[in-house]
Amino acid sequence: MIAFYNHFAFEFKTGLRNSNNLMMNYLFPLGFYAMMGLVMTRIFPGFDQVLIPAMVVFATMASSLLGLPGPQVELREAGVFRSYKINGVPAISILIIPVLTTIFHTLIVSSIIALSARPLFGGVAPLHIVPFILITLLAAFNFSAISALIGVISTNSRATVLWSQLIFLPSMLIGGMMVPISMLPEGIQPLTALLPSSHAMQAFLGLAYGQPTSFNTTVSIAVLAISLLLAFGLAIHLFNWDTKNKTRRGHPLMALLVLIPYIVSTFLV
């Protein structure tokens, strides 16, 4: 328990000490939130309805997808995981503790957004608080698990950027955060079900805001939960202490299995 506490405390402080992590955990999401709050609520009528969930999903993606995999790869390549291994640090701790601390940072930023959006930018508060909190947690765990998987399969920092942006950029464009899915071209709409951000946004709108949704929210919740479990399972299975040793238990392309629930959901939503 002391080991877990020390490890958690160290990783949490890393999220504040490391300039890149500080940027992705706090400065980037809060800066973007301030900009969206100031600009989008004025030029896009109705954006106040989605300001909080959209910015919570954005903050979650920024801290996890952009902040989590890079340092994991750097530590592994620097031999830190080898050092951890010989000192008895279990692989599960190496994977799960950074995920938990990232979620912790995300929850702090999400709280700031949820509490300040209404007084600062006229953002609409959720009707149902408990579903809002649960979906925030589910989305945070989901993105963090996918990010941990990206960190595990990437051979270098450039690869983490590539994989992360493959999710991050489409999410920003067609994930329902900036533009409602219903306003996208009909040919594009089914493809949005391939993105976790779309499911998170639809779950927020349907279950926390009581608004009509483009997706079946039960399916969205199931997709987020199943992909979260798949991503963690695959990250643990494919975890490698040291790229100099061929100890990986499967091919990195196995990570694509995490797409299964999303692909299936395109037929169900």
Residues that bind another protein (CB under 8 A): 2-3, 5-7, 10, 13-14, 17-18, 75, 78-80, 82-83, 85-89, 241-242, 244-247
**Residue 16 beta carbon to another protein: minimum distance, rounded to whole angstroms:** 10
Please give the angle made by the CA atoms of 215, 219 and 225, to the nearest 5 degrees. 125
| Structure token digits, residue 179 | 């533009």
One-letter amino acid identity for 67? Answer: G
**Residue 166 beta carbon to another protein: minimum distance, rounded to whole angstroms:** 27
Name the residue nearer to another protein (CB basis): 10 or 44.
10
Name the residue nearer to another protein (CB basis): 9 or 259.
9
| Structure token digits, residue 4 | 């877990």
Whole-number Å distance between alpha carbons of 203 and 193 = 12
**Residue 238 beta carbon to another protein: minimum distance, rounded to whole angstroms:** 17
Please give the angle made by the CA atoms of 18, 19 and 20, to the nearest 5 degrees. 95
**Residue 72 beta carbon to another protein: minimum distance, rounded to whole angstroms:** 11
**Residue 7 beta carbon to another protein: minimum distance, rounded to whole angstroms:** 7
**Residue 143 beta carbon to another protein: minimum distance, rounded to whole angstroms:** 23
One-letter amino acid identity for 240? Answer: N
Name the residue nearer to another protein (CB basis): 14 or 211.
14
Name the residue nearer to another protein (CB basis): 3 or 38.
3
Contacts of 256 (CB under 8 A, 6+ apart): none
Residue with tokens 């997808």: 65
Largest Cα–Cα separation, the chain: 57
Q: How far is CA 228 from CA 8, 42, 96, 187, 251, in A?
A: 21, 36, 12, 27, 20
3-state secondary structure 75-93: HHHCCHHHHHHHCCCCHHH
Name the residue nearer to another protein (CB basis): 246 or 267.
246
Whole-number Å distance between alpha carbons of 3 and 94 = 12
**Residue 160 beta carbon to another protein: minimum distance, rounded to whole angstroms:** 17
Name the residue nearer to another protein (CB basis): 91 or 173.
91
| Structure token digits, residue 114 | 């949820």
Distance in angstroms between the alpha carbons of the first and the last residue of the chain: 42
**Residue 3 beta carbon to another protein: minimum distance, rounded to whole angstroms:** 4
Name the residue nearer to another protein (CB basis): 77 or 165.
77
Name the residue nearer to another protein (CB basis): 244 or 251.
244
